[in-house]
Structure 1
Amino acid sequence: MVTGALKSKIDSLWEIFWTGGLTNPLDVIEQMTYLMFIHDLDEADNTHAKEAAMLDLTYQSIFSGEVKIGDRMVTGQQLKWSTFHDFPSARMYSTVQEFVFPFIKTLHGDSESAYSTYMADAIFKIPTPLMLEKIVSAMDDIYMQMAQLQSADVRGDIYEYLLSKLSTAGVNGQFRTPRHIIRMIVDLMEPRADDIICDPACGTSGFLVAASDYLKEKHKEEVFFNKKNREHYMNHMFHGFDMDRTMLRIGAMNMMTHGVENPVIEYRDSLSDQNPDTDKYSLILANPPFKGSLDYDIVSADLLKVCKTKKTELLFLALFLRMLRVGGRCACIVPDGVLFGSSKAHKALRKALIEENRLEAVISMPSGVFKPYAGVSTGILIFTKTGHGGTDNVWFYDMMADGFSLDDKRSKIDENDIPDIIARFHNLEGEKGRERTEQSFFVPKEEIADNDYDLSINKYKKIEYVPVEYPPTEEILANLRDLETQIQQEMDELAELLKK
């Protein structure tokens, strides 16, 4: 969460846009995002240059030499944030409008790339040089504050805070996934250098960014010092789909800023026939829209064969099974209703997960995890597509705390089950002797099948009742009479005082 001085600075920046005439929140967020990307592009270029120098590798800066913008050639250095932010306001404005903005729109040089496609209709809307100068100065202050905080998640938190100003949830029930929950899911799934990773409802590409960061941290040599793996990482590993063009632009810029040169971020209705992907991905990470209800005629016929329903949360689960290759893994967030819903579609989908594939884990999360955006109770399903079963025992975990208070403030607290969840999931052998009264335990497939494939943890968790000894009834009554006498005496004393 963005709090304190940083929140105040972002609100002040928002105010500059607002008083300058940009009053549509979507326009403000788009313009902020473009400028953040321009700043981050400069910063990332400097970082990559330093890393290349340390590793004795050659690195060609995107700002080196002269750059062609339209039919003009300009010095690449003047396109850097660190250069133009010192220009007088009029020169800064003309540089950004005429050169920097067209430069980032055609950054790939490939007019067919996803990035170029979604930047093609981006418009520079800041109306005056003075307003741009104020915005750039305010953003420099924000980046200085970010550097002092030294938090890896602060950039993501700023995105979250900006997006929260749009609305709490979209029409299909989509809302932002907290960064620490995304990172927990990525740590549980441990992406590999040869994975093909997809989020069919990617939004700002949070899961894809976290997966790319994980690979940088855990498999740096394997990914970046191997030519084939590096090429795969930069161009073919990350796939994201969404129906919101603004989110796609933000997602593409987010991925590129995090060092992925050509992510496959596409405009696509994942649930329709527009999405032909079958048996393609080795890892799916997603938090699909929850509350949407679609017409049958726009849903892919393949998905309706698996479960005839209009509910997006069920259709997305059916989609994940179709999109995964055999042996492919999925970790997705679902509303609690998916785990215990009694409709035919709910049961059919849970049965397909358990009987036709391998369901590995169900992690129950508390309802406050998505506050302040929503108070829904959710769970995480982890499964592997086999096509022929394989579920033996399903591991359940009852998450009580995620390191933040479960109210709207979401303040940091000491209680945090996330490290325990990750450690236990990666050592499931050690879970076999655990009792149903504990926070995590196994449930055999047969027992789940006998319970209509119900996956709610409360169906299987046992509550340990501790007997409480109460005093005899006569003693309680005697204490009540004593209290009554005492109250009467004090009332009499009060009455006497009032007479005086």
Structure 2
Amino acid sequence: MAISNFVKRIQDVMRNDSGVNGDAQRIEQIVWILFLKIYDAKEETWELLDDNYKSIIQEGLKWRDWAVDRKDGEALTGDGLLDFVNNTLFPTLKNLEIDETTPMRQVIVRNAFEDANNYQKDGVLLRQVINIIDEIDFTEYKERHEFGAIYESFLKDLQSAGNAGEFYTPRAVTDFMVKVVKPVLGDRIGDFACGTGGFLVSALNELDKQVGNSLENREIYNNSVFGIEKKALPHMLCVTNMLIHDIDDPNILHGNALEMDYKDMRKMEHFDVILMNPPYGGSEKDSVKANFPTVLRSSETADLFINVIMYRLKKNGRCAVIIPDGFLFGTDNGKFNIKKKLFSEFNVHTVVRMPHSVFAPYTSIRTNILFFDNTEPTKETWFYRVDMPEGYKNFSKTRPMKLEHFNDALNWWENRKEIEMDGFPKAKKYSIDEIVERSYNIELCGYPHQEEVIPEPMELIQEYQEKRASLNAEIDHVLEQITSMLGGN
């Protein structure tokens, strides 16, 4: 069947339902229905492979029991369907009994429904949406993988769905980061703010090429990735994404990776590869900041995630993480100490400066990719600037960043050399002594020409606050040196 217009057909139906307001609710509505359909297809496979398999979903509540319209006039619809979904299905799935012995493939059902909602108020329209989703045969390999591409375009639509856009990192960026980090089968790959699972999928696509026909390799593949996501909608999106990509036991937790004492983090699983785009521009509660040593506390969420990465990256492990410009130039106490620890204990070998509007329309905050590994202290760091492609003034939903825009960076990665353009450095190597001398202000190889970008008011305020804090810290540092030279206290 042709499923290229799958999302559009559902959206057209939902627009007539008064209970669904806006893209964010429409997406959440599609996702819980889609999750149950995909999960039921997976369960059919598990039942065939294991005669002793027992579902956590009781009879009568499985997709096959109530959602499939067999055209015999018996399918639930209208008020009867609404009553079943609101008063039986949701309450039961939200309160499924689980314990430490419950397999992850079953735990995800309750996790997925903890904060889910049925927004539709018209039972006839709900039946129409269910029937469209039921047309897809997820037990057929070709159709399931064709749907993977549809799901990707569906996730991209999140970028125009208000705050939901924060959960999607452009595929070109995740693919570039995976290409240079080079995950191999057997690596444990983690993302502690995984959103819809973009980094994990890019990594899985790379690992899938290494599986071959080996069942043992397929089992290793199935246990390769781990994610944590704080918010309900992207968590369910990510779990569904993993099921689509043949991860039968998605180890995707619903929680906040920052809400754990750093001493406990040290005892938890460490990872060979960490790929992340942590939230930035936000501020955590004091109780969350208190989970970290005093010198490593920061008001910026992204800074705290750098701490988490440092505690959970395995010896010889490698990391690629997206960070805002504020992390580069910031020299306030928190950022200074975090960067000092990072450069002193890890090998920060590369910083890639990305052009503006990569994350448009969600945010115009400038971003960078920090690459480091847990091998040795930093001796030198390369900075490389990715320029806006010729003919582009801004990236947008209709003209997004593509992997080909990283071609020059990929070529440079394997054959590093310093590059100067129009009198400004595009690629340059700095020694650790030079970086320390700058008080870890690593805003280097930046953009010589200011693009015509007007940030959102709150983004502008955030940027000014970070620059003011950085400037104050630099002034304090100079005053301390002068006072020390004069022999004062």
TM-score calculated relative to the size of structure 2? 0.72
Deviations 1:216-243 (A, max 9, x none): 1x3122xx6152x4334324x3221122
**Range moving further from structure 2, 85-94 or 333-342:** 85-94
Distance 1:104 1:259 in 2: 23
Q: What SS does structure 1 have at the residue aligned with 2:364? A: coil
The answer to whether the 8 A contact 1:6-1:142 is kept is no
Residue aligned with 1:91, SS: coil
User: Are 2:188 and 1:196 equivalent residues in the alignment?
Assistant: yes
Deviation sequence 1:146-187 (CA, Å, 0-9, x none): 98x979644222123146424366xxxx45311221122122
Cα distance between partner residues in 1 of 2:364 and 2:186: 37
Q: Tell me if 1:233 matches 2:221.
A: yes
- Counterparts in 2 of 1:127 and 1:394: CA distance versus 1, 3 Å: same
Partner residue of 1:423?
A: 411
**Structure 2 Cα separation of the partners of residues 124 and 295 of structure 1:** 30
Return the alpha-carbon distance in structure 2 between the equivalents of residues 132 and 462 of structure 1: 54
Aligned to 1:259, which of 209, 232, 246?
246
Q: Is the contact made by 1:13 and 1:135 (CA closer than 8 Å) also made in structure 2?
A: yes
Counterpart CA distance in 1 for 2:327 and 2:369 is: 11
Residue 156 (structure 2) pairs with residue 178 (structure 1): no
Deviation at 1:293, TM superposition (A): 1.7
Instruction: State the Cα deviation string for residues 236-292 of structure 1 (Å, max 9, x = none).
Output: x32211221232222212211211111221133212226733261111111111111
Tell me: CA distance 1:277–1:412, structure 2 relative to 1, closer, same or farther (3 Å). closer
- Provide the residue aligned with 1:296 in structure 2: 286
CA deviations on 1:11-41 (whole Å, 9 max, x unpaired) are: 424404x33x334765533320123334555
SS in 1 for 2:334: helix
Distance 1:71 1:80 in 2: 12
Partner of 1:453: 440
2:154 corresponds in structure 1 to: 158
Q: Choose from 242, 265, 276 the match for 1:277.
A: 265
Deviation at 1:316, TM superposition (A): 1.1
SS in 2 for 1:370: coil
Q: Is 2:300 the partner of 1:316?
A: no
More moved, 291-300 vs 151-160: 151-160
Counterpart residue type for residue 257 of structure 1: I
Q: What is the identity, as a one-letter code, of the residue corresponding to 1:299?
A: K
Structure 1: segments with no counterpart, 5+ residues: 50-58, 464-500
Equivalent residue of 1:284, what SS?
A: strand
**CA RMSD between the two structures:** 4.3
Q: Is the 8 A contact 2:425 2:445 kept in 1?
A: no
Q: Counterpart amino acid of 1:406?
A: N
Which of residues 358, 371, 394 is equivalent to 1:382? Answer: 371
Residue by residue, what CA displacement relative to the aligned partner does 1:110-129 show, whole Å, maximum 9, x if unpaired?
74534133135456565555
- Following superposition, the deviation at residue 412 of structure 1 comes to 5.6
Q: Is the 8 A contact 2:148 2:244 kept in 1?
A: no
After superposition, give the CA deviation of every residue in 1:357-376 in whole Å (9 maximum; x if it has no partner). 10011011111101011111
Does structure 1 residue 210 correspond to structure 2 residue 202?
Answer: yes
Q: Is the 8 A contact 2:284 2:300 kept in 1?
A: yes
Matching residue of 2:339: 350
Larger mean Cα displacement after TM superposition, 193-202 or 125-134: 125-134
* 1:152/1:124 CA distance change after superposition, 3 Å: closer
Which residue in 2 is equivalent to 1:479? none
Contact 2:172 2:403 in 1 (8 A): no
1:135 aligns with 2:129: yes
Superposition deviation, residue 321 in structure 1: 0.5
What secondary structure is seen at the aligned counterpart in 1 of 2:265?
A: coil
Q: Which residue of 2 aligns with 1:29?
A: 27
Task: Work out whether residues 401 and 415 of structure 1, in 8 Å CA contact, stay in contact via their aligned partners in 2.
Answer: no
1:13 & 1:458 partners in 2: Cα distance? Answer: 50
8 Å Cα contact 2:230/2:256 also seen in 1: yes
Give yes or no for contact 1:29–1:163 (8 Å, CA) kept in 2.
no
For 2:397 and 2:22, the matched residues in 1 are separated by 26
Cα distance in 1 between the residues matched to 2:248 and 2:136 = 26
In our comparison, the structure showing a higher alpha carbon Rg is 1
Separation in 2 of the partners of 1:233 and 1:344?
A: 41
Paired residues of 2:283 and 2:299 also in contact (CA < 8 A):
yes
Q: Residue 119 of structure 1 corresponds to which residue in structure 2? A: 112
2: CA distance, partners of 1:382 / 1:5: 39
Alignment partner, residue 219 of structure 1: 210
Question: Closer, same or farther in 2 for the Cα pair 1:444/1:85, shift >3 Å?
Answer: farther
Q: Kindly report which structure 2 residues correspond to 1:82-93, keeping only aligned pairs within 5 A, or say none.
A: 84=68, 87=71, 90-91=74-75, 93=77
How far apart are 1:209 and its partner, in Å? 2.0
| Higher relative contact order structure (alpha carbons within 8 Å, sequence separation ≥ 6) | 2
Cα distance in structure 1, aligned partners of 2:65 and 2:411: 46
> Number of residues paired by the alignment?
425
Q: Deviations over 1:202-227 (max 9, x none)?
A: 122221122112211x3122xx6152
Q: Secondary structure of 1:363's partner?
A: strand
Change (3 A) 1:226 1:71: closer
- Structure 2 runs not aligned, ≥5 long: 450-489
- In structure 2, the residue matched to 1:496 is none
Asked if the contact 1:89–1:133 (Cα under 8 Å) also holds between the matched residues in 2, the reply is no
Distance 1:180 1:340, change over 3 A: same
Deviation at 1:85, TM superposition (A): 5.0
Are 1:15 and 2:15 counterparts? yes
2:382 maps to which residue? 395
Could you report, residue by residue, the CA deviation over 1:368-397 in whole angstroms, capped at 9, with x for unpaired residues? 1010111110000000123x51x2332222
TM-score between the two structures when normalised by the length of structure 1 = 0.70
| Mapped partners of 1:452, 1:311: distance in 2 | 19
Taking every aligned residue pair, what percent have the same amino acid on both sides? 23
Q: Name the amino acid aligned to 2:388.
A: A
Please give the per-residue CA displacement for 1:411-437, whole angstroms capped at 9, x wherever unaligned. Answer: 268994312323332x1xx21465575
In structure 1, the residue matched to 2:329 is: 340
> Structure 1 residues 423, 286: CA separation in 2 closer, same or farther (over 3 Å shift)?
same
Q: 1:77 to 1:289 in 2, by over 3 A?
A: closer
Counterpart of 1:289, as a letter, is: P
* Aligned counterpart, 2:468: none
